[in-house]
Amino acid sequence: MGSPTVDEIVKAGTPLLDRRPSSFKRKAAPYGLAAPAALYLGIFFLIPIGYMAYTSLWSGFLGAYSFTWNFANYRYGLETYGDIFIRSIVYAGIVTVLALVLAYPVAYWIAFYGGRRKNVYLFLLLLPFFVSFIIRTVQWQFLLADNGIILGTLKDLGVMPESYRVLGTTTAVIAGITYNFLPFTALPLYVSLERIDKRLVEAGKDLYASKATTFRKVVWPLSLPGVFAAFLLTFVPSVGDYVNASILGGPGNTMIGNVIQTEFLTNFNYPVASAMSFLLIGALLIGATIYARVLGTEDVTSGAIRT
């Protein structure tokens, strides 16, 4: 059978081409698909942030608030809660470093040595998500209670002084936040490590690089996008967290989240609460922009991963 000539192919293809949607339809398709969700995110994510900025410039008292470009709310918030703001950033910084150091080896092990069971290990990492994080935090509260299973038993055995406690300390709060965000640290690390072409590691070995050198010169630089992603997904939510501080901490460990929650839901001091919350998202926006910039220059590395 002779192969068809170009003319025959074109002739056969013409009616089919006609059946394709018009170029207008094809151009409109992505907009039609994206519009409902885009509209929804606009109304329930972007506009509320606008409302928050607006509310943060109110003055007056409950029941008689009015918009007056009252920037004093920001000054008041920072003067009153500045130290708590800084404390939250310091806590979140410690949490992030701890989580990165703890999670990196595990992500590395699953990505490089997970073999056929990779998905099982990943599933185990996701397991905490199947239990409400409030319940998980409360379980830690019970575990670490002054007379709970751990401390109570040790005290009964006389190994630990009666007055020793973990709850209400900075350690408890930082440990709690770290625990809660570990999967969010581990997953992006895993994704970037898994993308690394294993042949690059072998090449390092073939070229007589020691394991440490191969890691330092090949694996670590290529995993940096994952490290940044993990940093962002851990640091940002930790700064705003107030559940751990209120369940595991004491009066000396309140975080900015506790302040925002109390001002909003207990004191109904909407202007100051909005100002604090807006500062938080402002810090996030700056961080996210820097992050995008840094990763923009990192594109060379991520390109190397894929090819």
Partner 1 sequence: MSAVAASDRVIDLAAEGPAPKPRSQKRWTRFILPTYSALFILYLIVPIVVMIVFSFNTPAGRFNIRWEHASLDAWRNLFFEPQLTDSLILTLEVAFTATIVATILGTFLGIALGRYRFRGSGAMNFVIFLAIASPEIVLGSSLLTMYVNARVPQGFLTILLAHVMFGISFVAITVRARVAGMDRSLEEAAGDLGANPRTTFFKVTLPLIMPGVIAGALLAFALSIDDFVISNFVAGPKLTFPLWVYGATRQGLPPQVNVMGTILFAFGLLIVAAQIIGSRVKESQDRRLMERPRIVAVGLGEAAAPPGE
Under rule CB under 8 A, which residues in 247-306 are in contact with partner 1?
Answer: 247, 257, 260-261, 264-265, 270, 273-274, 277, 280-281, 284-285, 288, 291-292, 295-296, 298-299, 302
Residues 159-188 that bind partner 1 (CB under 8 A): 179, 182-184, 187-188
How far apart are CB 109 and partner 1 at their closest, in Å?
Answer: 4
Site for partner 1 in 8-47 (CB under 8 A): 16, 19-21, 29-31, 33-34, 36-38, 40-41, 44-47
Q: Give the count of alpha carbons within 13 A of 149, CB side only.
A: 5
Minimum distance, C-beta of residue 110 to partner 1, in the bound complex (Å)? 7
Shortest Å, Cβ 143 to partner 1: 6
Q: How many residues bind partner 1 (CB under 8 A)?
A: 114
Q: What is the 3-state secondary structure of 243-293?
A: HHHHHHCCHHHCCHHHHHHHHHHHCCCHHHHHHHHHHHHHHHHHHHHHHHH
| Contact between 139 and partner 1 per CB under 8 A | yes
For residues 184-243, which are near partner 1 according to CB under 8 A? 184, 187-188, 190-192, 198-199, 202, 205-206, 208, 225-226, 228-230, 232-233, 236-237, 239-243
Which of 33/79 has CB closer to partner 1? Answer: 33
Q: Which of 76, 89, 94, 148 contacts partner 1 by CB under 8 A?
A: 148
Nearer to partner 1, 120 or 217 (CB): 120
Least separation in angstroms between CB 82 and partner 1: 18
Which residues lie across from 58 on neighbouring strands? Answer: 67
Comparison of 77 and 183: residue with beta carbon closer to partner 1: 183
Interacting residue with partner 1 among 24, 61, 69, 130 (CB under 8 A)? 130
Q: Enumerate the β-bridge partners of residue 59.
A: 66
Please name which of 58, 49, 50, 51 lies closest in space to residue 77, comparing C-alpha atoms. Answer: 58
> In the complex, what is the shortest distance from the CB of residue 42 to partner 1, in angstroms, rounded to a whole number?
8
Among positions 63-102, residues that touch partner 1 (CB under 8 A) are 102
Q: Which residues pair with 66 in a beta bridge?
A: 59
| Dihedral sign, Cα of residue 10, residue 14, residue 16, residue 18 | positive
Near partner 1 by CB under 8 A: residue from 90, 93, 101, 123: 123
